[in-house]
Amino acid sequence: MIDRRSLKSEAWEFCTKAVPSVIIAGLLYSLLSLVVSSLSARLMGNGITAGDVSRIMDAYQDGNYSYVLSYASRFQPSGLASLIDMALQFVMMIVSAGFVIFILNTVRRTNAVYGNLLDGFSIAGRVILLNVVEGLLIFLWSLLLVVPGIIAAYRYRLALYLLIDHPEKSVLQCIRESKEMMHGHKAELFRLDLSMIGWLLLDMFIPFAAVWTAPYTNTVWALYYEALCNRAGQETWSFNPDL
């Protein structure tokens, strides 16, 4: 068993003392996430108000379905808006991978720089493909029941880390290796996540809490990945965006 307390204590040390600052990297990441989410909300027509919902519901209850369809169509985003929103989501996937690269370089003490946030663009296609394939697999398992979907999510949890460490490998290879590494460790990682539930709730309910929560939780997860790699004899190295 991996010592959760030691892992979290080490993560806190990195968050408070590492240079360059993990918190500043978290701030940059959070600001970019905020910009993307704001643009996405505007593009996808999330300006619908409670009054709009009330009018639609009243018309639906009165059986005026043509009015419901007509009124609701006002909030339907255009095809171009949907494409731009998809591109924005892809950008956030790539930047999220860059944030993981920064965290891994930090915990390994190997040339972490704020520019790591953009390093994911060098493997952008595979990062996007990994997210799509992983999401699809989890969705398919979730069709059985919620629990198989959760188990699948933990099974593929390390795929992104493996892709970052081994950019020469295919997406499916990383997913398979994640499944192998997580064998016998899914419950352990689940308990680690539960021990950080307060941080995750803080992120949900307090604006800009992600400036602290994202660096801390991602550092904990990176250290957990490192611990599993060391236990399995898995080779790791500093990410090289030129590969």
User: pLDDT digits over 198-211, tens only?
Assistant: 888 887 788 778 88
Long-range contacts of 159-162 (CB under 8 A, 24+ apart): 159/130, 159/134, 160/97, 160/100, 160/127, 160/130, 161/100, 161/104, 161/222, 161/225
The tokens describing 96, both together, are 């999220």
Whether the CB-CB separation of 95 and 32 falls below 8 Å is answered with yes
Could you read off the pLDDT of 149-203 as tens digits, one per residue?
999 999 999 999 999 999 999 999 999 999 999 999 999 999 999 999 988 888 7
Q: Which residues of 25-58 are buried (b: 16+ CB within 10 A; e: fewer)?
A: bbbbbbebbeebeeebeebeeeeeeeeeeeebee
Q: Which residues of 64-103 are buried (b: 16+ CB within 10 A; e: fewer)?
A: eeeebeeeeeeeeeeeeeeebbeebebbbbbbbbbbbbbb
Residues with pLDDT less than 70, the chain: 1, 45-53, 67-68, 71-78, 231-243
Q: Which residues of 140-173 are buried (b: 16+ CB within 10 A; e: fewer)?
A: ebbeeeeeebebbbbbbbbbbbbbbbbbeeebee
Is the pTM higher than 0.85? The answer reads no
Q: Looking at residue 243, what is its pLDDT?
A: 41
Q: Looking at residue 239, what is its pLDDT?
A: 47
d(CA 137, CA 147): 14
